[in-house]
Structure 1
Amino acid sequence: MITIKNSVIKGYHEFKIRPPLQLTLRVDREYTNIHDVSACLVWLPDTVSDNDQLDFVTDSKRGLRLKDILGLPCGHVPRGIAPAFRYILDNGGRIEVKTTGDPVPSFYPWPDVKEKGGGIVIPCDYFIYTNNKTAHVTVIKHHISLMSEKDAMAVV
């Protein structure tokens, strides 16, 4: 397993879905994104193993419970690492996400809320499962090295 710590899920302002902390989410390709062919979405699971979780309130302001948002996308992978994730997914890998905080205005080194690429983000860690760890670590590190946010994330 490869872990990317201290990253974010982008696009909360668009999706307005707040996943519960530490719920395992999944990453998959976004085939319909005409602006970015490498775009990847973060999805909530379709089901949960503990039915007691279904009534967990994820957004008290809007009255949403986990059962209301299961199976929905909650945001995007940051644009800079999306090509690496797309490559890994296309080559048989699997990527999961766990949120580490509630949605917050984007913070340094991510673009400011008012800058292009800024907005509300959800802090998270990404977990990559692959049979080609060495090659995929190289791909991930290369793409992160090109990002202005490279110093925030740690590949473990």
Structure 2
Amino acid sequence: MKRLLIIAHAPSANTQKMLQAIINGASHPEIENVEVFSLAPLETHPEDINSADAIIVGTTENLGYMAGLTKDLFDRCYYPCLDKNEGLPFTFYVRAGHDGTGTQRAIESITTGLRWRLVQAPLICKGDFQTEFLDQCEELGLSMAASLEAGII
């Protein structure tokens, strides 16, 4: 059984819906050999990351950067994870009120240092909330879980 860890900062009703869509996609009934775990950034410890076979990170864009709790996650876990999960497949999604580029750049910079492997283009949900974000999130979760189960990632 492979482990897909979803670490998401979901402070609002809409971001909680997005997280649930990610979980729903990753937990699709046809995917049988992937355990899906979801944790908030403050609940996540280095052991959780080091025991995962793949990760999806979700965050809001705050002041053109990732959420403070997401940054705290990376601050706490960076060195305990460094050199322990090189090549870890991951992707991320951003609920961006603006364009999400600062958040995307920051996450890519940190995960490059960790030597994680971005296996799917990040999902940047920009502007006013749209219900299509939920379909995109579900697709992202399904794609990651199916790829993990198939051994593609």
- What is the TM-score with the length of structure 1 in the denominator? 0.28
Higher Cα Rg: structure 1 or 2? 1
- What is the TM-score with the length of structure 2 in the denominator? 0.28
Higher strand share: 1
